[in-house]
């Protein structure tokens, strides 16, 4: 894959910039509640954003099912789970699924619509709440919306949750990372400063076509949580 050079802004960046003043002084839970309530990220199918539309997840849905089977995952924590749109199309047979989200209304709606034996939804804050036991934590399209300081808090909390694996979003060709305020968006490469993760166990390219394909290096990457020790 050739390195991507100039990237056009993603829709989530443009929409947040238009409404930035509305987020002034809001705590994290209220920021994401406002994003959900106003469909700030601008997707037609789901308030969880363009990356959660069914067409945007075709490639990773297949890859995720294979990965969960390969690593014998029997308990999955999906945090944040959003509105459980594309994940409802993943075959989770034999897996205890827990969807966590910071937005109260999202959790309540998911329980009513998608709750079932072996499938539960819980309100939780990735930064500070005690996380339920799981074999693998899926943290897709989350850290890209957090400031560096809160990414550090999230990773510290994840390292203490007892899971073996973290599967999270990274942009493989991004040369460096920039900071943002919480709720905004930018791509992240977790293998470069300030994170400097080791090489992942494996990656699932998403086939992202947003902004004319400028983010086609977007992937879910799998790491052992114990390997993610801060410098």
Phi, psi of 228 (to 5 degrees): -95, 60
Task: Evaluate if residue 200 carries a pLDDT over 60.
Answer: yes
Does the reported pTM lie above 0.75?
A: yes
In this predicted model, what pLDDT tens digit does every residue of 36-45 receive, in sequence order?
A: 999 998 888 8
When mean pLDDT is compared across 40-44, 61-65, 142-146, 177-181, the lowest value belongs to: 40-44
Average pLDDT over residues 21-35: 97
pLDDT at 1: 38
Task: Give the pLDDT score at 85.
Answer: 92
% of the chain beyond a pLDDT of 90: 88
3-class SS of residue 139: strand
Tokens 């987020």 belong to 23
Q: What is the mean pLDDT of the chain?
A: 94
Contact 204, 179 (CB under 8 A): no
What per-residue confidence (pLDDT) applies to 45? 86
pLDDT of residue 231: 67
In this structure, are residues 136 and 166 in contact, taking their beta carbons and an 8 Å threshold? yes
Domain ranges of the chain: 28-227
pLDDT-derived band at 4 (thresholds 50, 70, 90) equals very low
Q: Coil, strand, or helix at residue 116?
A: strand
Q: Check whether 115 has a pLDDT greater than 50.
A: yes
pLDDT at 2 over 70: no
Contact residues for 218 (Cβ-Cβ < 8 A; gap 6+): 51, 169, 170, 171, 187, 205, 206, 208
Gap between the Cα atoms of 53 and 207, Å rounded = 13
Rounded CA separation 12/198 (Å): 28
CA atoms within 13 Å, Cβ hemisphere of 52? 24
Query: What CATH number was assigned to the domain covering residues 28-227?
Result: 3.40.50.150
The alpha carbon of 195 is separated from its chain's Cα centroid by a whole number of angstroms, namely 16
């Amino acid at each position: 894959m050739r390195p991507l050079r100039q990237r056009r802004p993603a829709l989530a960046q443009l929409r947040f910039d238009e409404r930035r003043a509305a987020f002034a002084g809001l705590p994290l839970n209220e920021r994401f509640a406002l994003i959900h309530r106003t469909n700030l990220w601008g997707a037609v199918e789901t308030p969880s954003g363009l990356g959660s539309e069914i067409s945007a997840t075709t490639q990773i849905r297949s890859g995720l099912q294979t990965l969960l089977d390969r690593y014998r995952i029997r308990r999955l924590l999906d945090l944040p789970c959003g509105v459980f749109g594309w994940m409802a199309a993943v075959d989770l047979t034999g897996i205890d699924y827990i969807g966590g989200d910071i937005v109260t209304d999202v959790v309540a709606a998911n329980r009513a619509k998608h709750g079932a034996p072996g499938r539960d939804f819980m309100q939780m804050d990735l930064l500070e709440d005690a996380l339920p036991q799981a074999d693998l934590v899926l943290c897709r399209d989350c850290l890209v919306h957090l400031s560096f300081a809160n990414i550090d808090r999230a990773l510290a909390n994840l390292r203490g949750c007892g899971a073996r694996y973290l599967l999270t979003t990274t942009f493989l060709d991004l040369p460096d990372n920039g900071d943002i305020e919480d709720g905004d968006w930018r791509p992240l490469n977790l293998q470069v400063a300030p994170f400097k993760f080791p090489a992942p166990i494996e990656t699932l390219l998403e086939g992202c076509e947003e902004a004319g394909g400028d983010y086609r290096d977007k992937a879910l990457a799998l790491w052992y949580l114990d390997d993610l020790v801060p410098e």
